[in-house]
């Protein structure tokens, strides 16, 4: 069965360190998204990609970067982790369908920055 | 910009009670509208959707109708179960082909036996 996976599921790091969160999907979807979930804010879009070599900034992109070298993967990098980046991170993917298609979410990565 | 407003939670109900979670949106034209559900410790999954005015989305006993005149997409269920305890998110994708979801802040539902 097709799926979307994230790793690690839990991560503790220190401020100033570089951290990379992995996202891998086997749906063969063109579109991939990274969100962060914080109490009182719902889900906010960090970065997204509509295909290989395409990346775009979302609502809260400062301090984060992504790259898309193949269809299956969209790793999220925190260049220099800050305590404000403590959050739960979700990756999602979807087919291109004029905005009418379902996004499929991974199980999330819980990140703690000390 | 586009936005989604949901009723503040948390909502606590007894089993078999009627559920309504209000959702209104601000967007130009005809966005697509979604309800996603997040069970404890899991990622989000689609509950239902509607892509044009007057459409009704339904799944697992939940329903929501796309009301253009009131810019609303309220979620309803006639008889909730303990297993419906979760966080519910209303969301939209703007008209014009953008694939990006705009989420409301979520409403936590707890159903007691």
pLDDT digits (tens, 9 = 90+) for B23-78: 999 999 999 999 999 999 889 999 999 999 999 999 999 999 999 999 999 999 99
Examine the pLDDT at A21 and tell me if it is beyond 90. Answer: yes
> Does position A112 have pLDDT exceeding 90, yes or no?
yes
Residue B107 structure tokens: 């409403």
Flag whether pLDDT at B98 surpasses 80.
no
- The mean pLDDT of A89-100, rounded to a whole number, is 85
Of B42, B44, B99, the CB nearest to A94: B99
Q: Collect all residues of chain B within an 8 Å Cβ-Cβ radius of residue A94.
A: 99
Cβ-in-10-Å burial (0-12, 13-18, 19+) of B62 comes to buried
* Chain A residues close to B31, C-beta within 8 Å: 99
| Full DSSP string of B35-83 | EEEE-TTS-EEEEEEE-STT-EEEETTEEEE-BTTTTB--EEESS--GG
Probe site for chain A from B90, B100, B105, B106 (most A CB atoms < 10 A)? B100
| Residue B13: strand pairing partners | B111
Q: According to the model, what pLDDT value does residue A13 have?
A: 97
The answer on pLDDT for A39 being more than 90 is no
A107 Cβ under 8 Å from any chain B Cβ: yes
Give the alpha-carbon dihedral of B92, B98, B100, B104, to 10 degrees.
Answer: -20
Q: Does residue A3 register a pLDDT over 80?
A: yes
Nearest alpha-carbon partner for A34 in A97, A89, A88: A89
Nearest to A58 by CA among B97, B101, B77: B101
Q: State whether B89 and A42 contact (CB < 8 Å).
A: yes
Q: pLDDT by residue (tens digit) across B15-32?
A: 999 999 999 999 999 999
Task: Tell me whether strands B11-14 and B107-112 are parallel, antiparallel or unpaired.
Answer: parallel
Q: Which residues pair with A19 in a beta bridge?
A: A78
| B90 three-class SS | strand
Q: Tell me the average pLDDT of chain A.
A: 94
CA dist B31 and A33 (Å) reads: 19
What is the C-alpha to C-alpha distance for residues B31 and A75, in angstroms, rounded to an integer? 29
- For position B100, what pLDDT does the model report? 86
| CB-based contact B51 A100, cutoff 8 Å | yes
In contact, B50 and B39? CB cutoff 8 Å: no
Which residues numbered 59-88 in A keep a CB inside 8 Å of some CB on B? none
Predicted local confidence at residue A96, as pLDDT? 79
A101 vs B: CB within 8 A: yes
Q: How far is B94 from chain A (nearest CA, A)?
A: 7
> Pairing relation of β-strands B3-6 and A10-13?
unpaired
Q: Would you call A100 and B32 a contact, using CB atoms and an 8 Å cutoff?
A: yes
The confidence band for A33, taking pLDDT boundaries of 50, 70 and 90, is: very high
Q: Choose among B19, B18, B50: nearest CA to B33.
A: B50
Q: How many helices (H) and strands (E) does chain B have?
A: 0, 12
pLDDT of residue B49: 95
């Amino acid at each position: 069965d097709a799926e979307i996976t994230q790793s690690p599921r839990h991560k503790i790091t220190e401020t100033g360190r570089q951290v990379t969160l992995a996202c891998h999907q086997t749906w063969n979807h063109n579109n991939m998204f990274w969100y962060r979930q914080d109490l009182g804010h719902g889900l906010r879009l960090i970065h997204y990609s509509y295909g290989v070599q395409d990346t775009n900034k979302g609502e809260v992109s400062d301090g984060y970067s992504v790259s898309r070298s193949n269809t299956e993967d969209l790793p999220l990098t925190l260049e220099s982790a800050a305590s404000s980046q403590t959050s739960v991170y979700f990756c999602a993917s979807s087919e291109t369908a004029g905005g009418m298609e379902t996004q499929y979410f991974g199980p999330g990565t819980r990140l703690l920055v000390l | 910009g586009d936005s989604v407003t949901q009723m503040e939670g948390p909502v606590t109900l007894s089993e078999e009670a009627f559920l309504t979670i209000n959702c209104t949106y601000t967007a130009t034209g005809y966005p697509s509208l979604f309800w996603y559900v997040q069970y404890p410790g899991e990622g989000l999954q689609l509950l239902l959707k509607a892509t044009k005015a007057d459409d009704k989305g339904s799944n697992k006993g939940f329903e929501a109708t796309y009301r253009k005149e009131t810019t609303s997409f309220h979620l309803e269920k006639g008889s909730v179960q303990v297993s419906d305890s979760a966080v519910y998110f209303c969301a939209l994708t703007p008209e014009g082909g953008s694939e990006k979801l705009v989420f409301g802040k979520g409403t936590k539902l707890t159903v007691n036996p």
